[in-house]
Amino acid sequence: MKILGIETTCDETAAAIVAHDEEGGASILANEVLSQIAEHAAYGGVVPEIAARAHVEVLDRLIDRALDRAGLGLDDLDGIAVAAGPGLIGGVLIGLVTAKTLALVTRKPLLAVNHLEAHALTARLTDGLAFPYLLLLASGGHTQLVAVKGVGQYVRLGGTIDDAIGEAFDKVAKLLGLGYPGGPEVERMAEAGDPERFGLPRPMLGRREADFSLSGLKTALRIEAERIAPLAERDVADLCASFQAAITDVVVDRARVALRAFSGVAGHPTALVAAGGVSANGAIRRALASLAGEAGLAFVAPPLQLCGDNGAMIAWAGLERLRLGLTDDLTVPARARWPFAEKPGSAAVIV
Ligand code: ATP
Ligand code: MG
Ligand code: FE
C-alpha cells in the first residue's frame, strides 16, 4: 500500500509518500518539507495570508518532487491523504482542494486526516508501536496529554488552559530578542546557562488533573528579565536555562499524573510517546525518558524530522484509516478547528 500525504495547515508545505506491506512494515519513500520560517521570521509568528500564498506557490512542485524521489507515478498510489484541519483555513483549503483534485482525476480514495491525529500516530510509523499508549502532544498550537486507544479513539487526560508549550518557548524567545521559531533558540542558549539562577514558578505542580498553565511562568520570566535589564548574553542563557528547567519539571509532573489516570480509561499503556515540534527538545526528551523508565514503560519520540509538521505523518495516518475502510468523499470540509480528543466519558470525535 502506498499513500501520498499532503500537509499545509500551518507554515510548512509538505508532501510525502509512505508505503506499508504486511511483511516489510512501513517505510518512508519520500518526505519533502519546505518551511516558510524565513517568510514569517520578521513578524515573530506565522502570518496566515503569507502562509497561504507560499503553499499555493510550491505545493504542486513538492508533490512532483516526492513522486520523483519515490520513483512512482500517481497511478501507483493507493490513496491521497491530506490534513483537512485543524489549522489556518487558507492553507488547509489549498492542501484539501489539491488532494480532492488528485483523488478525482486518479479515482483513488481520499483520506481527510486530522493533523493532530497524524502527530499522535507517528510513533506507529517509526516504531511500530501497539495501542494503547500515553501521548504528550506538544507543539506551537497544542499541548495535550492523550490516551491513544486506537485509530480514531483518543481520550484527553489533560491540556493547557492558556499557552501551548511551543507558544511559550516562542514568546520567551521573542521577549529575549532571540529568533523565531523560539524553541530551538531557547534550547541552544540554555545549554550554556545556569538553570538554578532564577527561581521560576512551576505552575500546576502537584495538581490532580493533568492540565498545564504556562502564562504565569512566562510573566515571571518577563519580570526577572526586566529586573536585571539590560541583559548580557550570560543573563539570556541563564534565563533560557531556568525557563527550560521549569517547563521540563511541569511536563514531567503533568505526564506522571496522566499516567496515573491512564489505566482508568485505557488499561495498561505500552509506552510513553512524545510528539509535535516541542518533542525535539533534548531536556524534555531526557526527562520523559526517565519518567517512562521509572514507570517501566518504553519511551518513544519520533526522529527530529518527524517531530515537526511533515507529510509522512499525514500519509501514515491516511494509511491507517484506509486499512480500516475510513475513506472520505469529495464533500469533506476544511476545518479551522477540529478537536481530536475528548474528555473521559464523552465520545471520541474522529470515527
Ligand atoms: P500545530 O500546533 O498545529 O501542530 P506547529 O507548527 O506549531 O502547529 P510543530 O511544527 O509541530 O507545530 O511545532 C512547532 C513548535 O515547536 C514551535 O512552537 C517551536 O518553537 C517548537 N519547538 C521546535 N523545536 C523545539 C525545541 N528544540 N524546544 C522547544 N520547542 C521547540
Ligand atoms: Mg509548524
Ligand atoms: Fe503540527
pLDDT in tens, 40-97: 888 877 899 999 999 999 999 999 999 999 999 999 999 999 999 999 999 999 999 9
- Range of 46-50, 145-149, 338-342 with top mean pLDDT: 145-149
Distance 302 CA to ligand 2 centre (A): 16
Q: Tell me the residue type at 350.
A: I
What pLDDT does 46 receive?
Answer: 87
pLDDT, position 312: 98
pLDDT digits (tens, 9 = 90+) for 90-146: 999 999 999 999 999 999 999 999 999 999 999 999 999 999 999 999 999 999 999
Residues with Cβ within 8 Å of residue 65, at least 6 apart in sequence: 15, 30, 32
Cell 501497539: give the residue.
130
Question: Ligand 1 — pocket residues by CB below 6 A?
Answer: 9-10, 87, 115, 139-142, 166-167, 169-170, 181-184, 187, 276-278, 280-281, 308-309
- For residues 309 and 299, give the distance between their C-alpha atoms in angstroms, rounded to a whole number: 21
- pLDDT, mean of residues 145-169: 97
Q: Mean pLDDT throughout 188-195? A: 98
List b or e across 36-50, with b for residues whose CB sees 16 or more CB atoms inside 10 angstroms. beeebeeeeebbeeb
- The whole-angstrom separation of Cα 61 and Cα 76 is 18
**Residue 351's pLDDT band (cuts 50, 70, 90):** very low
Annotated binding site for substrate: 137-141, 170, 183, 187, 281
**pLDDT at residue 180 greater than cutoff 90:** no
Q: What is the pLDDT of residues 196-236, one digit of tens each?
A: 999 999 999 999 999 999 999 999 999 999 999 999 999 99
pLDDT value for 110: 98
Per-residue confidence (pLDDT) for residue 345, from 0 to 100: 66
Residue 347, pLDDT > 60, answer no
pLDDT in the model for residue 42: 83
For residues 347 and 38, the answer to whether their CB atoms sit within 8 Å is no
Which pLDDT belongs to residue 350?
55
Beta strands (DSSP E) in 44-142 are: 79-85, 110-114, 133-138
Backbone angles phi, psi at 54, to 5 degrees: -65, -40
Dump strand ranges (E) for the chain: 2-7, 12-21, 25-35, 79-85, 110-114, 133-138, 143-150, 153-159, 271-275, 298-300
pLDDT of residue 117: 97
Ligand 1 atom index nearest CA of 173: 20
CA distance 164 to 142: 5
> 214, 244, 278: which to mutate for ligand 1, most atoms within 8 A of CB?
278
Nearest residue (by CA) to ligand 1, atom 29, is 183
Q: Which pLDDT score, from 0 to 100, does residue 283 have?
A: 98
Give the residue carrying C-alpha cell 473521559. Answer: 344
Q: Ligand 1 mean position to 180 CA, how many Å?
A: 10
Ligand 3 centroid from CA 39, angstroms: 18
Q: Is 301 left (phi over 0), alpha (psi -120 to 50) or beta?
A: beta
Q: Which residues are annotated as a binding site for Fe cation?
A: 115, 119, 309
Q: Where are the alpha helices (DSSP H) in 107-214?
A: 115-127, 165-175, 182-190
Of all protein residues, whose CA lies closest to atom 4 belonging to ligand 1?
139
Residue that is written with C-alpha cell 536555562 in the block: 241
Count Cα neighbours of 52 within 13 Å in the Cβ-side half-sphere.
12
Which atom, in ligand 1's list, is nearest to the CA of 142?
A: 2
Report yes or no: 277 and 271 within 8 Å, Cβ to Cβ.
no
Place of cell 527550560: 244
Predicted structure pTM score: 0.94
Q: What is the pLDDT of residue 23?
A: 84
> Would the pLDDT of 308 be above 80?
yes
Tens digits of residue pLDDT in 237-287: 999 999 999 999 999 999 999 999 999 999 999 999 999 999 999 999 999
pLDDT band at 37 (very low <50, low <70, confident <90, very high): confident
| Alpha-carbon span 302 to 293, nearest angstrom | 17
